[in-house]
Amino acid sequence: MPDINSLLTLALAGLAIVVGAGMLGIGGLVVVVFLLLVASILRGSLATRRMVAKTLRDPRFQPTDEVFLDHRSGRVLRVYADPETGERRYVPE
């Protein structure tokens, strides 16, 4: 189930596409879709960077010996764990 931010982003993207097509024609629609794609990529990248920085600053999370290749992203990830709660976070190497 997607979170509320993802649903709002999708709704805003749909609205932008409809308005862009109506106001700007097909050329404007292409520009709007391209800008939405770029914004989506940047949003995901920034969220990952914030999570990594937050994990590395948090003294509760200790690096483990677990390192693996994430086949979806193609990146090598290290597991950080909170020994008290068992919470795990995956940080790119």
**80: helix, coil or strand?**
strand
The pLDDT tens digits of the residues spanning 20-54 come to 666 666 677 677 777 777 777 666 666 666 777 77
Provide the pLDDT confidence category of residue 67 given band limits of 50, 70 and 90. Answer: very high
Asked whether the predicted pLDDT for residue 61 surpasses 70, the reply is yes
The residue that leads in pLDDT, 67 or 48, is 67
CA–CA distances in Å: residue 38 to residues 13, 35, 60, 83? 12, 5, 34, 38
Asked whether the predicted pLDDT for residue 65 surpasses 90, the reply is yes
pTM of the model: 0.49
